[in-house]
Amino acid sequence: MDGPGLSRRELRILVEIEDDLRTDGRLDRAMRTMRGRPGWWSDRVLGAAVRVPASVLSVLLALSAGLLLVSANAHSTASLTAFALVWAPTFVLSTARLIARRRGLRR
């Protein structure tokens, strides 16, 4: 801390203010836990995406690429459906992991 510390009077005033604020239970809990948005669903989703192993994402990416090549050659509804069913979670998981990485969430 730069400069002089607080005087006794200032410390007493600060303690009184903190005691008054602690009477509010919700505020006291929020200050102790320092949660920005309690129960926010996107934070839970991003946390879950970070916990998914990278090997799962690698397998999904490889499967998507393989199914894309097969569906491009086969031109069948089944191969396109299989590609779509694998590509959708691959896209969602990779996007969530990128967002989590930008926000600083790491495993």
What the block records as the tokens of 105 is: 């969430």
Q: What is the pLDDT of residue 107?
A: 56
Which pTM value belongs to this model? 0.56
Query: Distance of CA 23 to CAs 13, 31, 36, 48, 66, Å?
Result: 16, 12, 20, 35, 61
At residue 44, the pLDDT reads: 77
10-residue mean pLDDT profile of the chain (107 residues): values are 78 90 79 63 78 91 92 87 92 87 71
**Could you give the CA distance from residue 23 to residue 33 in angstroms, rounded to a whole number?**
16
CA distance between the termini of the chain: 33
Q: What share of the chain is helix, strand, coil (3-state, %, to 5)?
A: 80, 0, 20
pLDDT number for residue 21? 82
**CA 101/CA 82 separation, integer angstroms:** 29
